[in-house]
Amino acid sequence: MNNIMDFWRNEWAVVTDVSEVTDYETETNGIKEVKIIVSAEITGRGKTWNYPYKDDNLYEIPTYKLYLIGTIGNQRVVFTYNVFRFGVTRKTPTSPPYVCGLADKQRHIIKQWIPTYKVHSAASNEIGAWQVYGNFLIHDGPDNPLQETYATVGCIEICGGPQGFDKFNDDIIILSGIQGGTRSEQLTRIGKSGKLVIEYEKADRPPLVSFNS
């Protein structure tokens, strides 16, 4: 891609030829389609704990690249983020831990924006979440995955910061082209529009590994 520019939180690129991405230009009530791709590309590592039944151990999980794709005007724009895709859990307080998360290739239309959601595994002031389906969400993650300890049972956690998840949502607003209303109202409308789509690439489920700093 051309004109790649690095920011503190992500990268973005502009592709001037939109002949390959006309699907992103379709609008519903003034909202353009925005696509989230959760890739199988490992970008680093982070530490986590066994959620929700915490033990005395910390575990290592990979971070993966997430692509946020849409258009601004007639240009295709791609933002990238680092995310947690998998986590560590166990079914009961005494059962063995295992790696959990969505590993298969799949596609979903985001069901809704949940404005009151708060991260359960760590302290975060970045409120809200996107519902993929059921209890699988997209929400805030650690600013620094090696220093802060977050946990997930398969939700996508947006890493980077400060305010990395808030910036992710700002990018969705920008790419959606939505106009009018407050930021909160815009996120709610995008969540109801059916125009925010997420695709998971097939990924190998990582092994259960103890964290060593």
Q: Tell me the domain boundaries of the chain.
A: 5-203
- In tens, the pLDDT along 135-188 reads 999 999 999 999 999 999 999 999 998 999 999 999 999 999 999 999 999 999
- Count each helix (H run) and each strand (E run) in the chain, helices first: 2, 16
Q: What is the pTM of this model?
A: 0.87
Parallel/antiparallel/unpaired status of strands 106-109 and 98-100? unpaired
Inter-CA distances, 73 with 15, 27, 76, 174, 187, Å: 12, 12, 8, 11, 20
pLDDT digits (tens, 9 = 90+) for 97-117: 999 999 999 999 999 999 999
Among residues 177, 163, 166, 104, the alpha carbon closest in space to that of 136 is found at 104
Confidence of residue 28 (pLDDT cuts 50, 70, 90): low
Tokens representing 128 are: 């809200």
pLDDT, mean over the chain: 89
**Whose CA is closest to 81, among 140, 146, 1?**
140
What does the pLDDT average to over 83-95? 96
